């Protein structure tokens, strides 16, 4: 199993940036071959100081392995999402990728 977690910070001056991002994630990514599961959500409030609450949207997507995830990155739908949605509404992104221990 390979997990690809993406944390998004949206541009403050872009109207409906969070909604546009969430809609775009749901529109472009689920149909890409190799996606096992996908979960998109907004930052959940927490009283715990260890929880980062500075971002707006997160994506957790799983693949069979890193090779499949690498193909996903180059897939035309992913590239189109980056160009048409991500670059328009996001200021910053942080990615956490991890796979099974061997």
More confident residue, 74 or 100: 74
Task: Identify the domain containing residue 18 by its residue range.
Answer: 2-44+54-97
Q: pTM (2 decimals)?
A: 0.92
Whether 102 is covered by a domain: the verdict is: no
Q: What is the pLDDT of residue 102?
A: 66
Whether 26 is covered by a domain: the verdict is: yes
Mean pLDDT over the full length of the chain: 96
Q: How many domains, in total, are found in the chain?
A: 1
- 62/34 Cα distance (integer angstroms): 9
What pLDDT digit, counting tens, does each position of 39-76 carry? 999 999 999 999 999 999 999 999 999 999 999 999 99
- Kindly list the strands in the beta sheet with 57-63, ordered across the sheet, starting from the edge strand earlier in the chain: 37-42, 57-63, 2-10, 90-99
């Amino acid at each position: 199993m390979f997990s690809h977690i993406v944390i998004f910070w949206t541009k403050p001056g872009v109207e409906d940036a969070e909604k546009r991002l969430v809609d775009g994630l749901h529109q472009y990514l689920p149909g890409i071959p190799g996606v096992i599961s996908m979960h998109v959500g907004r930052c959940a409030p927490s009283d715990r100081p260890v929880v980062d609450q500075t971002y707006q949207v997160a994506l957790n997507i799983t693949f069979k392995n890193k090779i499949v995830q690498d193909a996903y990155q180059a897939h035309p739908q992913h590239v189109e999402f980056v160009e048409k949605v991500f670059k328009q509404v996001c200021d910053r992104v942080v990615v956490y990728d991890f796979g099974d221990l061997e």
